[in-house]
Amino acid sequence: MKQFFIAMISGLLFGAGLAVSGMTDTNKVIGFLDLFGAWDISLLLVMIAGLCVTVPAYQLRKRLKKPFFSSEFSLPSMGSVDGKLLMGAALFGIGWGLYGYCPGPAVASLSYGNIDSVYFLVAMFVGMNVANKIS
């Protein structure tokens, strides 16, 4: 129960941050990706501001034996770069540029009540299943 509320608060703050920053606005996101048009730099600031918090948080974490409300940290291993990673990232960027949603804003946009967000999310889940089958 405690874990449920903690995760919900984190999601709430994350979703609020997406809405405040403009990441849930596909026009703004595509404006940021339009390097050769009227480039809107502001979404770069979202990432930099985010990193200003996460870099110290991830580095200071090394001094903690365990998280406050869980028995251990579950972090992906620091593997090496491979073709699957690069191919996946390349595809993701194409999909992001096509429509203007990455996964977070796509989920958060459900709150705006546009049915297209549902189609986007269902297709995203299908794509994830296909990726699992072929890898």
Partner 1 sequence: MYITPIMGGLMIGTAAAFLLWTLGKVAGISGIYWNAFSVELPLLSKERVWRLAFLLGLVAGPVLVHHVSTIAVPAAPESGVMAAVIAGFIVGLGTRLGSGCTSGHGICGIARFSTRSLLATAVFMFTGFLTVYLLRHVFA
Site for partner 1 in 56-75 (CB under 8 A): 57-59, 61, 64, 66-70, 72-75
Ramachandran quadrant class, 8 (left: phi over 0; alpha: psi -120 to 50; beta: rest) = alpha
CB of 1 to partner 1, least distance (A): 10
The count of residues interacting with partner 1 (CB under 8 A) is 110
Could you tell me which residues come within 8 angstroms of residue 23 by beta carbon, excluding any fewer than 6 positions away?
Answer: 29, 43, 46, 102, 104, 105, 108
135 binds partner 1 (CB under 8 A): yes
78 binds partner 1 (CB under 8 A): yes
Could you tell me which residues come within 8 angstroms of residue 121 by beta carbon, excluding any fewer than 6 positions away?
Answer: 106, 107, 110
Interacting positions 101-130 with partner 1 (CB under 8 A): 101-104, 106-112, 114, 116-117, 119-130
90 binds partner 1 (CB under 8 A): yes
94 binds partner 1 (CB under 8 A): yes
φ and ψ of 132, to 5 deg: -65, -35
CB of 8 to partner 1, least distance (A): 4
CB of 65 to partner 1, least distance (A): 11
44 near 32, Cβ under 8 Å?
yes
